[in-house]
Amino acid sequence: MKTVRQPLNRSNSDHRYGEIDVLRAAAIVLMVVFHLVYDLREFAGVNIDYQAPLWFAIGKASALLFIFVSGLSSGFSRSPVRRGLKVLFFGMIITVVTYLFMKEEFIRFGILHFLGVTMIISPFLLKLSSRTLWGLSACSALLGFWFADQVIGTSLFLPVGLMYDGFSSLDYYPLFPYLAVTLLGILAYRYFYAHRVKPSLVSFQLNSKLTKWLSRNSLGIYLIHQPIILSILFIVAR
């Protein structure tokens, strides 16, 4: 039987869930930590390997948390397409900036591009049955791992995970396999939040103002943290 998203009333959509704020705040903190380590190595010459297992895990966990929470939050959003276009717009700004300053490794389809696109298509995804979402999640993961071993002669298919020979980018999160994580987030929303019958994923009251602030301002922090870190490193170097 097809499961369709039920619209939330105003009081439910305005309610904030402490566990979701914690996940989003954790993602932003992990991201800042990883980028600080990266910048120290690449721009300050500090002898630290950001590709070591610990730092790699921190960077990847940050991105996966952002993607999962985005899928989870899509069920609460009143205007996912508008929000998606906004995020995608900022992603394109980052594309232009990185092209100007790091032409060889500029960001074609990074985390913001990914999140923007998945937000835009989320109304369609929310209408699919849970069984279909589980199937699409598995197919997305498998397709992404298969694409990773393929090399083609054009950059047109970078958004779906097909790379060309010599491709390099500072940030790359194609739809496959990472759409699988978005779909898992949507499924988490459906099973734990949509009907308010089952308890939420890890329900608790959040009293931390810092955590709430980090969660509410995660996009802004993402956009400004790198210029701030690089400015501090430049000042210290001078």
Location of structure tokens 């996966």: 64
194: nearest Cα among 83, 73, 25, 19: 73
Measured CA to CA, the distance from residue 167 to residue 150 in angstroms comes to 12
Over the range 77-112, which residues count as b (16 or more CB within 10 Å of their CB) and which as e? beebeebbeebbebbeebbeebeeeeeeebbbbbbb
Query: Could you state, in order of their start, the residue ranges of all structural domains in the chain?
Result: 16-237
> Any bridge partners for residue 151, and if so which?
163
pLDDT digits over 57-88, tens only?
999 999 999 999 999 999 999 899 999 999 99
pLDDT digits over 145-192, tens only?
999 999 999 999 999 999 999 999 999 999 999 999 999 999 999 998
Measured CA to CA, the distance from residue 134 to residue 146 in angstroms comes to 19
* 202 CB-near residues (< 8 Å, 6+ apart): 19
pTM above 0.85, yes or no: yes
